């Protein structure tokens, strides 16, 4: 398990690390630039000066101007001062051509002690007296001598060290500043997170009360708004659930009362057993249908039920649903009118789902129709359109937006499950539902048919 740290610590460590990394990278880049400068500019000019001195020595002159000085050469372009001396083969100093005798002796000692070979060019040497770039080559005038040409780059390295010191101080100041700023910024982040965490804990504990939360940061405000929205939805779901239990309890009480009354009638001999049995069977069917609807709606709420959709003719499904409910329709002396396409209206759907959807729409129409029910099934482009209309009183305007909500029970409604099943099935197959009033209530289901059949 990873070690947990609070936001303040993580932000502080991140800012300090990032600041130090950037400044250290700047320091490293600066030092590389200085070294590159010494290697390229100083060493290149040192080589040029060495060449000139070698030519002068080869010609037998003591210096470029005959006086041991070569100030007219381009040896001060970089700010480095060039000097020269003649060394013996063992590295001991023989002659100072230009420059300080103590420095020449110190460099000669270094060349001797470290056995610096001939043809050494641009080597950086650190001595007590300063920092130098040296070149060692065969003296063209004397075969047993070596020519030492060197440039004092102490000022350059001193400048580099001063800049490094300044950068170190800047790093230290940046670390302190990062700590202070990170603590302040982390506090501004941690407080909203802590508040929202407490809000989430309250929601998890069942305290569904909205909070007035306002933040400058868009992300925190969106999260707060989402959590308040979740509270509203949970309250709505809780209210619907309570309404559902009340409705279901009422719906269950009636058939259970009838079953109990019929059973007592048989026990006490006040009702004919055959008549009581018919009542018990009828009410048991109602109970079974209600329980089955609840279980089906629960399964649809978890996603499309198992089973592979198959192409079926929606006209046949509608006809089958009418046949199954014809007895109820005949009790109310209802008639059916059909407006079906002559060609099959195919849709890839599980037959059980189609029967549930259209069966509930037809059952709802039978409950409210006065004389007739109109069924329409047609193909329009790449859409299958089914309508179920009745000539009843229609749906109250205040109920129209809610008829497909789970457990919503309008005036003279049942238990608020049937039309919720219709909505769940339609959504599972990318269908859309509409409802409006004409002579009565009209329900329309539209399904896309491309790539389904």
The per-residue pLDDT for range 290-308, each reduced to its tens digit, is 777 777 767 666 555 556 8
pLDDT given for residue 64 in this prediction: 42
Rounded distance, CA 30 to CA 14, Å? 24
pLDDT given for residue 408 in this prediction: 67
Rounded distance, CA 175 to CA 439, Å? 79
pLDDT given for residue 60 in this prediction: 61
pLDDT given for residue 307 in this prediction: 66
Strands (E), 99-231: 120-127, 130-138, 145-152
Same fold across 7-161 and 310-448: no
CATH topology of domain 7-161: Beta-Lactamase (3.30.450)
Contact 190, 197 (CB under 8 A): no
pLDDT given for residue 404 in this prediction: 82
Q: Which of 66-75, 193-202, 414-423 has the highest mean pLDDT?
A: 193-202
Contact 312, 286 (CB under 8 A): no
Domain residues of the chain, as ranges? 7-161, 218-301, 310-448
Per CATH, the number for 218-301 is: 1.10.287.130
- Looking at the domain covering 310-448, what would its CATH class be? alpha beta
Structure tokens at 132: 């130098």
Q: Which of 5-14, 62-71, 204-213, 402-411 has the lowest mean pLDDT?
A: 62-71
pLDDT given for residue 414 in this prediction: 56
Rounded distance, CA 144 to CA 234, Å? 100
Rounded distance, CA 309 to CA 311, Å? 7
Rounded distance, CA 115 to CA 228, Å? 81
pLDDT (average), residues 166-187: 78
DSSP state of 94: E
Rounded distance, CA 355 to CA 397, Å? 28
Residue 339 has pLDDT above 80, yes or no: yes
Residue 254 has pLDDT above 70, yes or no: yes
């Amino acid at each position: 398990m990873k070690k947990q740290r609070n936001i303040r610590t993580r932000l502080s460590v991140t800012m300090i690390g990032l600041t130090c990394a950037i400044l250290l990278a700047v320091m490293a880049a600066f030092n590389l630039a200085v070294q590159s400068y010494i290697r390229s500019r100083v060493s290149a000019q040192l080589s040029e000066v060495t060449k000139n001195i070698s030519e002068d020595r080869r010609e037998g002159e003591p210096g470029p101007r005959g006086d041991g000085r070569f100030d007219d050469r381009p040896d001060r372009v970089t700010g480095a001062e060039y000097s020269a001396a003649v060394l013996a083969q063992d590295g001991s100093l023989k002659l100072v051509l230009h420059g300080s005798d103590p420095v020449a002796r110190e460099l000669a000692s270094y060349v001797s002690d470290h056995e610096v070979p001939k043809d050494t060019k641009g080597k950086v040497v650190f001595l007590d007296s300063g920092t130098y770039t040296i070149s060692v080559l065969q003296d063209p005038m004397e075969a047993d001598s070596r020519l030492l040409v060197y440039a004092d780059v102490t000022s350059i390295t001193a400048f580099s060290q001063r800049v490094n010191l300044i950068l170190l101080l800047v790093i230290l100041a940046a670390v302190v500043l990062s700590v202070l700023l990170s603590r302040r910024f982390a506090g501004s982040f941690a407080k909203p997170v802590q508040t929202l965490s407490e809000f989430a804990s309250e929601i998890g504990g069942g305290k569904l009360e909205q909070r007035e939360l306002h933040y400058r940061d868009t992300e925190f405000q969106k999260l707060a708004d989402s959590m308040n929205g979740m509270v509203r939805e949970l309250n709505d779901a809780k209210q619907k659930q309570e309404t559902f239990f009340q409705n279901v309890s009422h719906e269950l009480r009636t058939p259970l009362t009838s079953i109990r009354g019929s059973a007592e009638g048989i026990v006490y001999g006040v009702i004919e057993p055959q008549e009581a049995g018919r009542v018990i069977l009828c009410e048991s069917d109602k109970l079974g249908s209600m329980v089955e609807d609840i279980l089906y709606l629960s399964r649809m709420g978890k996603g499309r039920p198992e089973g592979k959709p198959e192409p079926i003719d929606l006209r046949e499904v509608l006809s089958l649903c009418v046949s199954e409910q014809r007895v109820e329709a005949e009790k109310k002396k209802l008639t059916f009118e059909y407006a079906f396409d002559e060609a099959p209206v195919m849709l890839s759907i599980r037959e059980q789902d189609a029967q549930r959807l259209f069966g509930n729409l037809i059952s709802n129409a039978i409950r409210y129709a006065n004389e007739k029910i109109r069924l329409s099934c047609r193909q329009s482009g790449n859409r299958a359109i089914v309508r179920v209309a009745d000539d009843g009183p229609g749906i109250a305007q205040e109920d129209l937006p809610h008829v497909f909500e789970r457990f919503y029970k309008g005036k003279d409604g049942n238990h608020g499950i049937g039309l919720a099943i219709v909505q769940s099935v339609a959504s599972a197959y990318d269908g859309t539902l509409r409802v409006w009033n004409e002579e009565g209530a009209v329900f329309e289901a539209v399904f896309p048919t491309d790539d389904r059949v």
